Amino acid sequence: MFDPNELKALPTWAERLKNSGLPVYIYGMGDGCEKVLKAFETEGIECSGIFVSDDFKRDKVFRSFRLLGMTELEQSGTEFAVACGFGTSLPEIMERIDGLAERHLLVYPDTAVIGEGYSRKDELIERIDDIKKVFGLLADDTSRETFANVLKFKISGDIRYLSNWSDTDEVYRLLELSDHEIYADLGAYTGDTVECFLRYTGGKYRKIYAVEPSRKNFAKCAKKCMPLDNMVLVNAAASDRDGTAFFSNGAGRQQSLSHTGTPVALRSLDSILAGGECTFIKYDVEGADAPALIGSKGTITKYCPKIRTGIYHRPYDILDIPLLVHKMQPNYRLYMRRQRYYPAWDLELIAKT
């Protein structure tokens, strides 16, 4: 049985690096590396260099460091520690990281996917009552184990706490979808999640609402979903209100609301449904999960739809979003599942009555 007070005894990822006495190299470059470097500054850790996989090696300088290849660094004869600065679900890359962890001290600072900051032990310990409450709300042992292990990972950066995961089949088994769902797909991307939903319902449903903010992705989604009946397409970002905001120009799914970028409409799900029924809501809104949930409050309160939402974009989503969902609808049973990923991304909350 998990005792949240166990977290107090765990060394942080920064303490593990400092106590090793080894030079620290960051694995990976780009935005993730930048966030790790900022965490290093806060924690007083010196970065000795940056390296990448050999197939990404280029004669390039990043943040004043000449990029090294993994083989080049390992063959230099230097004993070193590793801090990973990128996320991946690719099996071959995850295996490469596992290999590094066998040969070197390796940590994964839990930096924010969206926005700034990282998980801090002192801030988690300050929320020990929230941790106990969320743990008590979880409906099965797998959820409780997942929750406990992710919290331990957030503090320690130790990927051994991420050795167990679930697949999409298990998530949909939990959801227990029927052939007469009214599905709201918030963050429908190019229609791929509508297709996934249809695979698990045998192509049967009552109605689908697909909401996607990116104009480019929305056009692809509309084309893909054109043959479907009872389909409502909304080119907007799911939020807590109707209005206008700006949308960042990230790649693929890594697009999010920001202070600059392309203007985009905001819509609350309650507004879109106009009081109508919904039986299943999927949130994939790149860090806007809390506003999108708040914008669904009327629907959640009245109809108790099944919910599937990410709880990993910000360091404390793992606490904030379950508590928000429980506050809006205390009748829900809450589950946590995490798909295969380094670091603890693709962590999801499933809520159902």
pLDDT digits (tens, 9 = 90+) for 77-100: 889 999 999 999 999 999 999 999
Residue 316 in contact with residue 324, Cβ under 8 Å? no
Give the 3-state secondary structure of residue 204: coil
pLDDT > 90? residue 254: no
pLDDT > 70? residue 29: yes
CA-CA distance, 131 to 125, in Å (whole number)?
Answer: 9
pLDDT > 80? residue 288: yes
CA-CA distance, 342 to 250, in Å (whole number)?
Answer: 20
What's the whole-number mean pLDDT along residues 110-135?
96
Residue 56 is predicted with a pLDDT of 80
Residue 251 is predicted with a pLDDT of 46
Give the 3-state secondary structure of residue 60: coil
DSSP string, 252-308: TT---EESSSEEEEEE-HHHHHTT---SEEEE--TT-HHHHHHTTHHHHHHH--EEE
Residue 248 is predicted with a pLDDT of 66
Q: Quick check: do 13-109 and 168-310 share a fold?
A: yes
Count CB-CB contacts under 10 A for residue 353. 9
pLDDT digits (tens, 9 = 90+) for 164-213: 999 999 999 999 999 999 999 999 999 999 999 999 999 999 999 999 99
CA-CA distance, 153 to 10, in Å (whole number)?
Answer: 10
280: left (phi over 0), alpha (psi -120 to 50) or beta: beta
Residue 260 is predicted with a pLDDT of 63
With a CB cutoff of 8 Å and minimum separation 6, the contacts of 23 are 46, 48, 49, 78, 80, 81
| Preceding peptide of 343 cis, ω within 30° | yes
Nearest one of 267, 264, 265 to 242, comparing CA atoms: 267
Q: Where are the domains of the chain?
A: 13-109, 121-164+314-353, 168-310
Rounded to two decimals, the pTM is 0.92
With a CB cutoff of 8 Å and minimum separation 6, the contacts of 79 are 22, 104
Dmax over CA atoms of the chain, in Å, equals 66
What's the whole-number mean pLDDT along residues 258-269?
83
If you classify domain 13-109 with CATH, what class do you get?
alpha beta
Q: Which CATH number fits domain 168-310: 3.30.750.24, 3.40.50.410, 3.40.50.150, 3.40.1190.10?
A: 3.40.50.150
pLDDT band of residue 256 (cuts 50, 70, 90) is low
pLDDT > 90? residue 31: yes
Count CB-CB contacts under 10 A for residue 76. 11
336: left (phi over 0), alpha (psi -120 to 50) or beta: beta
CA-CA distance, 295 to 4, in Å (whole number)?
Answer: 32
pLDDT digits (tens, 9 = 90+) for 231-246: 999 999 999 999 998 8
CA-CA distance, 277 to 206, in Å (whole number)?
Answer: 11
pLDDT digits (tens, 9 = 90+) for 295-338: 999 999 999 999 999 999 999 999 999 999 999 999 999 999 99
